[in-house]
Amino acid sequence: MELIAPLGIVPDARMLARFRTYFDYLTEQNEVMNLTAINGEEEVYLRHFYDSLCLVKAGPVSGLTLLDVGAGAGFPSLPLKIAFPELRVTIVDATQKRIRFLETLIAKLGLEGVEAIHVRAEDFDRKCSYDLVTARAVARLNILAELCMPFAKVGGRFIAMKAGDCDAEVKEAANAIRTLGGTLDRVIHYDVGPDRDHALVVVRKTAFTQTMYPRAFARIKSKPL
Ligand code: SAH
């Protein structure tokens, strides 16, 4: 965990114990359900825990409300919650068994201020809005923007965690971002190990999203903005 010092995170004993519990339970449950293709302590700490924490490269998160769309086994929101206990986290995921995994994990970690809801983002309550909406490895950016941006407050942000070679995807999503009430702020590149370039696509929510969004998923897919 010495990697996290440059992120401004000083690990204490409770934080380290929680990451250990997370690693153990993820590894155990990965034997019986498909949670991650990444195995082994070093790889999980680097490519899941550290990578998730790199979201802070876009700015401080402590004390914010965060919606994590399609968190799967909890990335990026749960490592962030472990490092910043003041963060308030809502997870939505379309897969029931992943939500069950998360509920047990949250209890094992003794985290408060985290809810995990089994719902597709496009069916989620439109009245809910968050300071920060994030998603990692869920969909192409033009589609992802429609799943996420309606739930960001005006003045808040949507941050997509992407592979480094996302230029074409960002260009393709320009219309979706604008239509949904956003402005592309910047793309922040960072390394997760040698030859592994990742990027944070940071979008500011500058205007309300029209209530017709998000549309039904079939529509989002067949006619992306
Ligand atoms: N963010 C995690 C998981 C990525 S896998 C990580 O980076 O490791 C993609 C996850 O998104 C799956 O758990 C899937 O169930 C969920 N998902 C896909 N489409 C979704 C949607 N429309 N609404 C909510 N969850 C969705």
Judged against a pLDDT cut of 80, whether residue 201 lies above it is answered with yes
**Residues of the chain with pLDDT > 70: what percent?**
100
Q: Which atom of ligand 1 is nearest to the CA of 48?
A: 8
Q: Which CATH superfamily is domain 2-222 in?
A: Vaccinia Virus protein VP39 (3.40.50.150)
Ligand 1 mean position, distance from CA 94 (Å): 7
pLDDT score recorded for residue 125? 96
* Ligand 1 lined by 92 (C-beta under 6 Å): yes
**Across the chain, what does the average pLDDT equal?**
96
Q: Which atom of ligand 1 is nearest to the CA of 124?
A: 23
Judged against a pLDDT cut of 80, whether residue 216 lies above it is answered with yes
* Ligand 1 lined by 68 (C-beta under 6 Å): no
Ligand 1 mean position, distance from CA 121 (Å): 9
Separation between Cα atoms, residue 137 and residue 151, nearest integer Å:
18
Distances (CA, A) of 44 to 5, 38, 49, 74: 18, 6, 7, 12
pLDDT tens digit string along 117-167? 999 999 999 999 999 999 999 999 999 999 999 999 999 999 999 999 999
